[in-house]
Amino acid sequence: MAATLELLNAEQHAGLHLGDLPSSSPHFVQIVASEFVAAAAVCPIFLTKNAETGRFYAGALFGFEPGEDLTSNGQGEARLFTPLDLVRLGFFVTSDGAMAIDPQHPRFAVTSGAALFEDDGRPAPALRRVQHALAQLNAGVPETDAFIEAAVAARLVEPVDVDLSFDDGRTLRLAGLYTISLDALGELDDATAVDFFRRGYLQLIYAMAGSLKQVSRLAKLRNEKIAA
Distance CA 213, CA 219 (A): 11
- The secondary structure of residue 204, as a DSSP letter, is H
Distance CA 143, CA 158 (A): 21
Q: Which residues of 205-227 are buried (b: 16+ CB within 10 A; e: fewer)?
A: bbbbbebeebbeebbeebeeeee
CA dihedral sign, ordered 147, 152, 158, 160: positive
- What's the pTM value of the predicted model, to 2 decimals? 0.89
User: Given this model, what pLDDT does residue 113 score?
Assistant: 85
On the CB side of 208, CA atoms within 13 Å amount to 30
Those residues whose C-beta lies under 8 Å from the C-beta of residue 74, and which sit 6 or more positions away, are 23
User: Given this model, what pLDDT does residue 15 score?
Assistant: 86
Positions of the chain with pLDDT lower than 70, given as ranges: 1-3, 23-24, 73-78
Separation in Å, CA 27 to CA 31, 67, 77: 13, 6, 17
User: Given this model, what pLDDT does residue 1 score?
Assistant: 44
Residue pair 83/30 in contact by the 8 Å Cβ criterion: yes
Average pLDDT over the chain reads 91
Residue pair 14/124 in contact by the 8 Å Cβ criterion: no
User: Given this model, what pLDDT does residue 122 score?
Assistant: 94
